[in-house]
Amino acid sequence: MKRAIFPGSFDPITLGHYDIIKRGIPLFDEIIVAIGENSKKTYMFSVEQRKRFIEEAFKDDVQVRVMTYKGLTVDFCKDVDADFILRGLRNPADFEFEKAIAHTNRDLAPIETVFLLTSASTSYISSSIVREVIQNNGDYTKLVPASVRI
């Protein structure tokens, strides 16, 4: 079975994340959207809310599962028997950052990272932009799946 994890904080999930997951479904038998928990980070949404947003967004996609984890991503990959990490790239800076992480992960475990370029229509969206729009009472609904609309 080709199982990939798509790790992130998803605070909140954006249409960019949604697009990468949807486009990854044909490539893998299963995608685990892995919500990383970091006690040193302050989140806008609780882990339960973030998990619910993602589960609702993919309720009709049986190949998508949502889990939370703490610690190293490669250790989580081993725990769930995943051989692939799925990542989205928005720009050249993302590539440089993600390349270093992918090389490190491959040094730590036999994990391949698969990169998908974001769609042009979502390449500008980030969770931090969405949080800023929400905090300033802007219309964030064009940036997130319907499940995030609070």
Tell me which residues are annotated as active site: 17, 41, 90, 127
Q: Any idea how long the chain is? A: 150
b/e string for 117-142 if b means 16 or more Cβ within 10 A? Answer: ebeeebbebbbeebbebbeeeeebee
Instruction: Name, in order, each residue with C-beta under 8 angstroms of 68's C-beta and a sequence gap of 6 or more.
Output: 34, 35, 36, 37, 47, 51
The half-sphere exposure of 144 on its side-chain side, counting CA atoms within 13 A, is 25
